[in-house]
């Protein structure tokens, strides 16, 4: 059950984010066939808050991936700024009837840099904390 909620939350969050930015946004997966730049939404951890209610705490990552050579470019900075703005403007509460998930609220806790030298990619990681649930 929690796997379904993680997937549903990542899909709904990615879909909403993709309507607010001009680059590709994926939910909960890394696609090796797609060249950067792109953004991935992953739910790292889901913890039930109450044993009686279908309410969960979600620890999410919104990761914008660019090639290392692009990591200091103006375009990269603009894409990261567009994600930051999109996250600020997204409704903090919402219901996705199709996916049967309810977002009770979220906030960006911090932003980190990540480099993967093996794949020659650079990432900006938005650490997002959220409350969510089932049953719409």
**pLDDT single digits (tens) 30-68:** 556 777 888 999 999 999 987 887 899 999 999 998 876
Tokens of 115: 């480099």
The arithmetic mean of pLDDT across residues 78-93, rounded, is 93
* Rounded distance between C-alpha atoms, residue 13 and residue 43, angstroms: 10
pLDDT of residue 136 exceeding 60, the answer is no
Q: Render 35-48 in DSSP notation, one character per residue.
A: PSSEEEEEEEEEEE
Instruction: Quote the pLDDT of residue 58.
Output: 96
The arithmetic mean of pLDDT across residues 22-30, rounded, is 83
pTM of the predicted structure, to 2 decimals: 0.87
* Rounded distance between C-alpha atoms, residue 88 and residue 92, angstroms: 9
Closest CA to 31 of 21, 42, 47, 22: 42
Closest CA to 92 of 44, 128, 54: 128
Query: All domains of the chain, ordered by start, with CATH?
Result: 2-134 (3.30.2000.30)
Burial class (CB in 10 A: 0-12, 13-18, 19+), 135: exposed
* Adjacent-strand bridge partners of 98: none
pLDDT band at 113; cut points 50, 70, 90? confident
Contact criterion met (CB below 8 Å) for 67 and 120? yes
């Amino acid at each position: 059950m929690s796997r379904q909620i993680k997937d549903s939350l990542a899909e709904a969050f990615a879909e909403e984010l993709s309507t607010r930015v001009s680059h590709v946004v994926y939910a909960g997966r890394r696609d090796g066939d797609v060249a950067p730049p792109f953004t991935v939404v992953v739910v790292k951890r889901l913890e039930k808050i109450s044993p009686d209610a279908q309410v969960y705490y979600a620890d999410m990552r919104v990761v914008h991936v660019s090639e290392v050579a692009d990591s200091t470019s103006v375009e990269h900075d603009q894409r990261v700024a567009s994600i930051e703005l999109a996250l600020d403007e997204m409704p903090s509460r919402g219901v996705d009837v199709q996916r049967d998930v309810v977002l009770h609220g979220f906030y960006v806790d911090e932003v980190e840099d990540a480099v993967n030298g093996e794949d020659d990619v650079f990432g900006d990681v938005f650490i997002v904390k959220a409350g969510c649930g089932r049953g719409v």
